[in-house]
Structure 1
Amino acid sequence: TQKTVDGPSSKDWRGGRAASFNIIPSSTGAAKAVGKVLPALNGKLTGMAFRVPTVDVSVVDLTVRLEKKATYEEIKAAIKEESEGKMKGILGYVDEDLVSTDFLGGN
Protein backbone atom coordinates (compact mmCIF):
# COMPACT_ATOMS: atom_id res chain seq x y z
CA THR A 1 0.00 0.00 0.00
CA GLN A 2 1.42 3.34 -1.03
CA LYS A 3 1.08 6.34 1.25
CA THR A 4 -0.98 9.31 0.09
CA VAL A 5 1.41 11.81 1.69
CA ASP A 6 5.16 11.60 2.38
CA GLY A 7 5.96 9.75 5.59
CA PRO A 8 8.09 6.98 7.08
CA SER A 9 8.14 3.50 5.53
CA SER A 10 9.38 0.32 7.18
CA LYS A 11 10.37 -1.14 3.80
CA ASP A 12 12.36 1.56 1.98
CA TRP A 13 12.60 5.32 1.42
CA ARG A 14 10.58 5.22 -1.80
CA GLY A 15 7.76 3.37 -0.07
CA GLY A 16 7.23 6.37 2.16
CA ARG A 17 6.77 8.86 -0.66
CA ALA A 18 3.34 10.20 -1.65
CA ALA A 19 1.56 8.20 -4.35
CA SER A 20 -0.43 11.14 -5.64
CA PHE A 21 2.65 13.14 -6.67
CA ASN A 22 5.24 10.55 -7.73
CA ILE A 23 6.09 7.71 -10.08
CA ILE A 24 7.59 5.26 -7.59
CA PRO A 25 9.82 2.37 -8.78
CA SER A 26 9.03 -0.82 -6.87
CA SER A 27 9.45 -4.58 -7.03
CA THR A 28 6.78 -6.87 -8.46
CA GLY A 29 6.02 -10.55 -8.61
CA ALA A 30 4.60 -10.27 -12.13
CA ALA A 31 7.63 -11.83 -13.86
CA LYS A 32 7.47 -14.85 -11.53
CA ALA A 33 3.73 -15.14 -12.12
CA VAL A 34 4.25 -15.22 -15.90
CA GLY A 35 6.74 -18.07 -15.42
CA LYS A 36 4.09 -20.06 -13.56
CA VAL A 37 1.52 -19.55 -16.33
CA LEU A 38 4.04 -19.98 -19.17
CA PRO A 39 6.62 -22.53 -17.92
CA ALA A 40 8.82 -22.00 -21.01
CA LEU A 41 9.48 -18.46 -19.72
CA ASN A 42 10.18 -19.47 -16.11
CA GLY A 43 13.40 -17.81 -14.93
CA LYS A 44 13.82 -15.86 -18.18
CA LEU A 45 11.99 -12.71 -17.12
CA THR A 46 12.72 -9.93 -14.69
CA GLY A 47 10.32 -7.22 -13.72
CA MET A 48 9.75 -4.03 -11.85
CA ALA A 49 6.74 -1.90 -11.12
CA PHE A 50 6.06 1.79 -11.24
CA ARG A 51 3.54 2.88 -8.66
CA VAL A 52 1.42 5.65 -10.10
CA PRO A 53 -1.86 7.20 -8.93
CA THR A 54 -4.21 4.86 -10.82
CA VAL A 55 -6.67 2.19 -9.78
CA ASP A 56 -5.82 -1.51 -9.99
CA VAL A 57 -4.40 -1.99 -13.51
CA SER A 58 -0.95 -3.16 -14.66
CA VAL A 59 1.11 -2.69 -17.80
CA VAL A 60 3.94 -4.74 -19.29
CA ASP A 61 6.75 -3.31 -21.40
CA LEU A 62 8.20 -6.41 -23.05
CA THR A 63 11.50 -6.51 -24.93
CA VAL A 64 12.42 -9.74 -26.71
CA ARG A 65 15.16 -11.11 -28.93
CA LEU A 66 13.63 -12.99 -31.88
CA GLU A 67 15.18 -15.97 -33.62
CA LYS A 68 14.24 -14.59 -37.04
CA LYS A 69 13.28 -11.22 -38.48
CA ALA A 70 9.66 -10.13 -38.09
CA THR A 71 7.76 -6.97 -38.83
CA TYR A 72 5.75 -5.13 -36.19
CA GLU A 73 2.55 -6.22 -37.96
CA GLU A 74 3.63 -9.89 -37.88
CA ILE A 75 4.41 -9.67 -34.16
CA LYS A 76 1.03 -8.08 -33.41
CA ALA A 77 -0.74 -10.75 -35.49
CA ALA A 78 1.06 -13.55 -33.63
CA ILE A 79 0.16 -12.09 -30.22
CA LYS A 80 -3.46 -11.60 -31.29
CA GLU A 81 -3.64 -15.18 -32.57
CA GLU A 82 -2.31 -16.56 -29.27
CA SER A 83 -4.75 -14.40 -27.28
CA GLU A 84 -7.65 -15.94 -29.21
CA GLY A 85 -6.27 -19.49 -29.08
CA LYS A 86 -4.44 -21.41 -26.38
CA MET A 87 -3.74 -18.24 -24.33
CA LYS A 88 -7.38 -17.10 -24.29
CA GLY A 89 -8.29 -15.95 -20.80
CA ILE A 90 -4.60 -15.43 -19.91
CA LEU A 91 -3.33 -13.06 -22.59
CA GLY A 92 -5.47 -10.19 -23.83
CA TYR A 93 -5.06 -8.20 -27.02
CA VAL A 94 -6.62 -4.90 -28.07
CA ASP A 95 -5.85 -2.61 -30.97
CA GLU A 96 -7.72 0.45 -29.73
CA ASP A 97 -6.66 3.72 -28.11
CA LEU A 98 -7.55 2.93 -24.49
CA VAL A 99 -6.53 4.15 -21.04
CA SER A 100 -5.93 2.19 -17.84
CA THR A 101 -9.47 2.28 -16.45
CA ASP A 102 -10.79 0.72 -19.67
CA PHE A 103 -9.16 -2.52 -18.50
CA LEU A 104 -10.86 -2.77 -15.13
CA GLY A 105 -12.80 -5.98 -14.89
CA GLY A 106 -10.65 -7.73 -17.50
CA ASN A 107 -12.70 -6.76 -20.55
Structure 2
Amino acid sequence: MKRYAAYGAVGALLLCVTGCGGPDALMREFVANLNVYAETLEKREPKEKQQAALDRIKATTEKLDRLKLSKEDQDKLFTRYDAELKRVKERVEAAQKAVAMEGADADTPDLFSTFKPK
Protein backbone atom coordinates (compact mmCIF):
# COMPACT_ATOMS: atom_id res chain seq x y z
CA MET A 1 0.00 0.00 0.00
CA LYS A 2 2.85 2.37 0.80
CA ARG A 3 4.35 1.64 -2.57
CA TYR A 4 1.15 2.73 -4.37
CA ALA A 5 1.00 5.89 -2.31
CA ALA A 6 4.63 6.66 -3.17
CA TYR A 7 4.03 6.00 -6.88
CA GLY A 8 0.96 8.22 -6.77
CA ALA A 9 2.87 11.03 -5.09
CA VAL A 10 5.76 10.79 -7.57
CA GLY A 11 3.33 10.68 -10.49
CA ALA A 12 1.47 13.74 -9.24
CA LEU A 13 4.76 15.58 -8.76
CA LEU A 14 5.90 14.74 -12.29
CA LEU A 15 2.60 15.90 -13.76
CA CYS A 16 2.82 19.20 -11.90
CA VAL A 17 6.44 19.87 -12.86
CA THR A 18 6.28 19.08 -16.56
CA GLY A 19 5.93 22.15 -18.72
CA CYS A 20 7.06 24.59 -16.06
CA GLY A 21 9.39 27.20 -17.46
CA GLY A 22 9.29 25.97 -21.04
CA PRO A 23 9.14 28.31 -24.00
CA ASP A 24 5.34 28.18 -24.22
CA ALA A 25 4.90 29.00 -20.55
CA LEU A 26 7.37 31.87 -20.85
CA MET A 27 5.59 33.29 -23.90
CA ARG A 28 2.27 33.16 -22.06
CA GLU A 29 3.97 34.92 -19.13
CA PHE A 30 5.44 37.51 -21.52
CA VAL A 31 2.02 38.26 -23.05
CA ALA A 32 0.41 38.42 -19.61
CA ASN A 33 3.07 40.85 -18.36
CA LEU A 34 2.58 43.04 -21.42
CA ASN A 35 -1.15 43.09 -20.71
CA VAL A 36 -0.46 44.12 -17.11
CA TYR A 37 1.76 46.94 -18.35
CA ALA A 38 -0.93 48.10 -20.78
CA GLU A 39 -3.43 48.07 -17.94
CA THR A 40 -1.18 50.25 -15.76
CA LEU A 41 -0.97 52.76 -18.60
CA GLU A 42 -4.69 52.70 -19.29
CA LYS A 43 -5.54 53.25 -15.63
CA ARG A 44 -2.86 55.97 -15.31
CA GLU A 45 -1.35 54.18 -12.37
CA PRO A 46 1.75 55.60 -10.63
CA LYS A 47 5.16 55.30 -12.27
CA GLU A 48 6.23 52.77 -9.62
CA LYS A 49 3.57 50.28 -10.73
CA GLN A 50 4.43 50.86 -14.38
CA GLN A 51 8.11 50.30 -13.65
CA ALA A 52 7.31 47.10 -11.73
CA ALA A 53 5.40 45.81 -14.77
CA LEU A 54 8.33 46.74 -17.02
CA ASP A 55 10.71 44.90 -14.68
CA ARG A 56 8.57 41.76 -14.94
CA ILE A 57 8.63 42.04 -18.74
CA LYS A 58 12.40 42.40 -18.69
CA ALA A 59 12.79 39.39 -16.39
CA THR A 60 10.65 37.27 -18.71
CA THR A 61 12.64 38.30 -21.79
CA GLU A 62 15.84 37.39 -19.96
CA LYS A 63 14.39 33.96 -19.18
CA LEU A 64 13.48 33.53 -22.84
CA ASP A 65 17.00 34.54 -23.88
CA ARG A 66 18.51 32.02 -21.45
CA LEU A 67 16.66 29.19 -23.19
CA LYS A 68 19.00 29.69 -26.16
CA LEU A 69 16.43 28.51 -28.67
CA SER A 70 17.50 27.87 -32.24
CA LYS A 71 16.34 30.25 -34.97
CA GLU A 72 13.78 27.69 -36.17
CA ASP A 73 12.39 27.15 -32.66
CA GLN A 74 12.13 30.91 -32.10
CA ASP A 75 10.28 31.33 -35.39
CA LYS A 76 7.86 28.53 -34.48
CA LEU A 77 7.29 30.03 -31.04
CA PHE A 78 6.59 33.50 -32.38
CA THR A 79 4.37 32.12 -35.13
CA ARG A 80 2.37 30.20 -32.54
CA TYR A 81 1.81 33.34 -30.44
CA ASP A 82 1.61 35.82 -33.32
CA ALA A 83 -2.06 36.73 -32.88
CA GLU A 84 -1.73 37.27 -29.14
CA LEU A 85 1.43 39.34 -29.56
CA LYS A 86 -0.21 41.55 -32.20
CA ARG A 87 -3.24 42.09 -29.98
CA VAL A 88 -1.17 43.05 -26.94
CA LYS A 89 1.13 45.23 -29.06
CA GLU A 90 -1.87 47.21 -30.32
CA ARG A 91 -3.15 47.57 -26.77
CA VAL A 92 0.18 48.82 -25.42
CA GLU A 93 0.67 51.23 -28.31
CA ALA A 94 -2.85 52.63 -27.92
CA ALA A 95 -2.28 53.15 -24.20
CA GLN A 96 1.08 54.82 -24.85
CA LYS A 97 -0.52 57.15 -27.42
CA ALA A 98 -3.30 58.05 -24.98
CA VAL A 99 -0.72 58.92 -22.32
CA ALA A 100 1.26 61.00 -24.81
CA MET A 101 -1.89 62.83 -25.97
CA GLU A 102 -2.59 63.90 -22.42
CA GLY A 103 0.80 65.52 -22.30
CA ALA A 104 1.96 63.26 -19.50
CA ASP A 105 5.56 62.23 -19.15
CA ALA A 106 5.81 60.00 -22.22
CA ASP A 107 9.07 58.20 -21.55
CA THR A 108 7.59 54.83 -22.40
CA PRO A 109 10.05 52.32 -23.84
CA ASP A 110 9.65 50.50 -27.13
CA LEU A 111 8.96 47.07 -25.68
CA PHE A 112 8.71 45.22 -28.93
CA SER A 113 12.22 46.04 -30.04
CA THR A 114 13.66 44.56 -26.84
CA PHE A 115 12.72 40.98 -27.66
CA LYS A 116 12.49 39.72 -31.22
CA PRO A 117 13.37 36.42 -32.77
CA LYS A 118 17.04 36.37 -33.65
TM-score of the superposed pair, with normalisation by structure 2: 0.21
Which structure would you say has the larger Rg? 2
Q: Higher relative contact order by CA 8 Å / sep ≥ 6: 1 or 2?
A: 2
TM-score of the superposed pair, with normalisation by structure 1: 0.23
Relative to its length, the structure with more helix (as a share) is 2
